[in-house]
Copies of this chain bind each other. A is one copy, B any other.
Amino acid sequence: VRFGADGPIVEAARGATILDAARAAGFFIDSLCGGDGHCGKCRVVVREGNVSGGAAAPLTPEEIAQGFALACLARIEDDALIDIPERSLLREPAPHSGDLRVSRGAGFADEGAVAELDPLVRRLSLRVATPTLENNAADFDRLETAARAALPPNAAIRADLDVLRALPAALRLSDGAVSVTVAWSEGSYRILEIAPAEAVASNLAVALDVGTTTLAAHLVDLTTGATLAAALRYNGQAAYGADVIRRIIWCDSENGGLERLQGITAADVNAMIEDMCEKAGHPREEITAIAAAGNTTMIHLLLGVTPRWIRREPYTGAMRQPPPVRASGVGLAIHPAGLLYCLPSVSGFVGADITAGVMACGLDVGGAVRMLVDIGTNGEIVIGNKDWMVAASASAGPAFEGAGNRDGMRATAGAIDHVGGLAADGALRFTAIGGAPPVGFCGTAYVDLLAELLRAAVMDKAGKFNAAAGSDRLRENSDGTPEFVVVRAGESGAERDLAITRDDVANLMRAKAAIYAAIKVLLRSVGLRFDDIEEVLVAGAFGAFLDMPNAVSIGLLPDLPAARLRFAGNTSLQGAKMAALSVGHYNRARRIADKMTYFELSTDPNFMDEFAAACFFPHTHIEEFPSVRSGRGASGVLSRQDNVKCKMRNEKPRMRAHKA
């Protein structure tokens, strides 16, 4: 199979999908549905050769006639020449979710700083007593005495057989002056390595957020706390499904599927590590630990543990707190004895990313009741303080991640991320990531669009387009569905109009309703009102650029004063970094996970009632949104809160103005 007229030729087994063959050739084709043949993201053009089965529903008869096929369904029967359209390829992620700043100090206060360095792995420079007839304690015992003095009081120190085998020679090679690498593991420090003192190397760790869509990592110096480099990368598993459910199904349905997804993530992480090490000028063998957070399914896949039962009622994972494991044992290339520490999860759908987020936001500190909302395909919500915490996960669907909508896309180059102006001055403005001609909308753009359409009364509170508004951008598309055109074909990089359809609005309504309903149910479960919540922290890739007033005005977030709504950035990554830098925080994460009471919403009748009530903009009960009712909250168009973080972008956002 050849990809592109001048492209590479790869061997593919007869019957292999074009998706797999393209992957083997190094092309990452987007696949939101994970090979189910209904998202239509993976369209390719078969120029020559024999391919079967790719002419499926998302493609129009015209497209099929032009040779378009779905790469996930099309199977290779013979030599073929395939073209991959630009928009079918996964692009580099924009740095929405991971702050790429590096620091010289002990981290920023807002991204995983710790009051005191007490890293998971330490390199101790020890002077082990030379044995004498008066003190002829065994080698390990003398080493232990020296190490104890360099470690927190009462720390137990353990050595495996390989270390004991190396110990006698190591101690005598340098007359007792040794560098000992110890790692916190299950309540004691375990010796990873003993080297002569002169051989002292840096002691680095990787903080890792394994997102379903995007991986983010920081390279940190465990001796100083400094962040030396950062990396961001799409999760290569995306080719097998956009969300965790599709990944689990794929994993289950294929022989060796689990090993494949595990291997993909290991390769992704290794690539990020290589990238960061190159930037920072350190060999990867100086990395002695990886602290990882992520949702429960991602952590299972990272470790090669089947997530199969997470998707089936009653949604149980294999474990909440994985033990530290040799990184090399799961294919991660750092120091050969280095460890992978995964933070603990709470349940199948409240993962280590949430535990890490709670820690990063300090929800577990102080008496004030606060709320963390992490919006993705699932919206996870935690409410609590130092004494108690409740958590729930609402299946919001991928609408806010750009998936499932006609012109929805990930937050990559070409995605419109903000829209404004419609109601205020009639000039429709938008920003697109990377400055390229826009090819679709990412989640934040949809939030803005809905708010704008409501304000301009182009859409009513039930989500119906209002033809009476007289907008020339309102029309019916070819299958008779009403839609609102945002970008005309001439301005679009997709060579067609970019619009939001009635069905898109319905998807987005369901998504925001699910999240709001979850907040309501959780709040009621602890007998509190919105007013009792001192602060709402919005986390995740989505949260980083979300326009808060718009999110309130469509009823996604509760109507609280602006000062009490705060972006928190990638709290999963921040929490992972805190754990890497501090045994105390690593242990604290476990206490947080243990403390959280999980509410299962999928079978909760209250949740269904609240969901139904929330299927309105902003809500059936408008009294819950006093600022929206009074119009106070509708002034936030394209204005960002002062405390927006992570503004750094590859390129400045481009602002384009159109007459509405």
Q: A457 in the interface, Cβ–Cβ < 8 Å? A: no
* Given A136-B315, A323-B160, A304:B186 Cβ within 8 A: no
A131-147: which have CB < 8 Å to B?
A: 131-133, 136-142
Contact A161 B305 (CB under 8 A): yes
A304 touches B165 (CB 8 A): yes
Q: Which residues of B contact A319 (CB under 8 A)?
A: 138-141, 159, 164, 167
Question: Are A139's CB and B317's CB within 8 A?
Answer: yes
Q: Does A322 contact B (CB under 8 A)?
A: yes
Q: How far is the CA of A131 from the CA of B318 in the complex (A)?
A: 11
CB within 8 Å of B: which of A422-465? none
Q: Does A314 contact B (CB under 8 A)?
A: yes
Complexed CA–CA distance, A467 and B189 (Å): 70
What are 24 A-B contacts with C-beta separation under 8 Å?
A133-B313, A133-B600, A136-B600, A138-B316, A138-B319, A138-B320, A138-B345, A139-B309, A139-B317, A140-B318, A158-B186, A158-B323, A161-B304, A161-B329, A161-B330, A164-B303, A164-B305, A164-B322, A165-B318, A167-B318, A168-B305, A168-B306, A168-B318, A187-B187
Cβ contacts under 8 Å, A165 to chain B:
303-306, 318
Q: What are the 9 tightest A-B residue pairs by CB atom distance, in nearest-first order?
A: A136-B314, A140-B319, A131-B316, A133-B314, A138-B320, A138-B317, A139-B318, A131-B314, A161-B325
Provide the bound-state CA to CA distance between A330 and B164, in Å.
Answer: 13
Distance between A538 CB and nearest chain B CB, rounded to angstroms: 27
**Residue A149 is within 8 A (CB to CB) of chain B in the complex:** no
- Is A412 part of the contact surface with B, judged by Cβ < 8 Å? no
Residue of B nearest to A604 (CB): B133
Indicate if the CB atoms of B314 and A347 lie closer than 8 Å.
Answer: no
Binary contact track A316-339/B, C-beta < 8 Å → 1, others 0: 111110110100011000000000
**Shortest beta-carbon distance from A646 to chain B in Å:** 32
Which chain B residue lies CB-closest to A142?
Answer: B316
Q: A141-B319, A186-B188 are in contact. Are A136 and B347 (CB under 8 A)?
A: yes
Q: Which residues of B contact A320 (CB under 8 A)?
A: 137-138, 140-141
The smallest beta-carbon distance between A83 and chain B, in angstroms, is 41
